[in-house]
Homo-oligomer: A and B are copies of this chain.
């Protein structure tokens, strides 16, 4: 394999000049540049990936920031992102932000230091400096703000659907479990549900929660039935929380869905394996991940982009924790 020295010799210039051409750094006469580029081609000189990333100022690395890969919704997103990137030989640097501004900033900095050419982020702070000043393409995934490039599902409509389906199936005393206040999609769903319940005149309670953690969900499920024992319909903040509510309801001897209906959000793979299986609002997580990867690739490559702002529809999945509609 050719070395930079051989390239310099063939072009009749110094190694420093070859390096300047490769780095696009400092003045090089147009003729000299052409000679160097010809020599690179002739000798089939391929610097390693890092040198090449200096040369082209482009790596094939994309940074992906997700809140927490152990929340079963995110592996689907991540898998979609990775599958699409892999098809185009892009690679993923991955970090969990834990919804912490500090961790997010730290990760973005090291992403840049590692010369990522684009970032996909599920952030709650899309308008923060750390994104606006990043200088490389960013796609927000599962989050959105103004007309920044983003791929997300219609959470508000999801919340409306969840409420509407419970009301349609006879719940008259609903409890909404409100997800973390700083997680935008959680708040979208919550507002959607409130909107639908208000407009149908259904009475409801709200239980505020601060995370989607498995362990905490069990505590909230207990609190829910202690504070609102008459609930006959529960709109959970996601499927994990719905599973905990379902388990608590069964443990208390409530019949699901006869005494209390439960509806989740996300449609994670395990929701259909629960007994009774969980009715929920489906988000096409894998497809959203793929689409975000596709969008970042097109942004990086400067391709024509019809829409930088891709909203996915959500869908009610009827399983066994909701009653059948009377026909």
Give residues in A with beta carbon < 8 Å to B: 5, 14-16, 19, 26, 48-51, 53-54, 59-61, 68-70, 72, 74-76, 78-79, 82-83, 86, 89, 91-96, 103, 110-111, 113-115, 214, 240, 243-244, 246-247, 250, 269-270, 272-275, 277
Contacts and interface: CB of A to CB of B under 8 A. Distances in A.
A115 B60 CA distance: 12
Contacts of A277: 247
Nearest to A72: B72
Nearest to A112: B49
> Quick one: copies of this chain in the complex?
2
A5 B19 contact: no
Contacts of A275: 246-247, 250, 274-275
A82 B94 contact: yes
6 contacts: A16-B16, A61-B93, A78-B94, A91-B111, A246-B275, A275-B275
Interface residues of A, dominant DSSP: helix
B61 A50 contact: no
10 closest residue pairs by CB, A with B:
A49-B113, A243-B273, A15-B16, A16-B16, A214-B269, A94-B94, A69-B75, A70-B75, A270-B270, A70-B79
Given A50-B54, A274-B275, A275-B247, A92 B95 contact: yes
B96 A79 contact: yes
Contacts of A70: 75-76, 79, 269
B93 A93 contact: yes
Given A54-B54, A247-B277, 18 more contacts: A14-B14, A48-B113, A49-B114, A49-B115, A50-B113, A50-B114, A50-B115, A68-B79, A70-B269, A72-B75, A74-B75, A83-B96, A91-B93, A91-B114, A92-B95, A93-B94, A214-B269, A273-B274
A246 B275 CA distance: 9
Nearest to A215: B269
Contacts of A72: 72, 75, 269-270
Contact of A75 (B16, B75, B240): B75
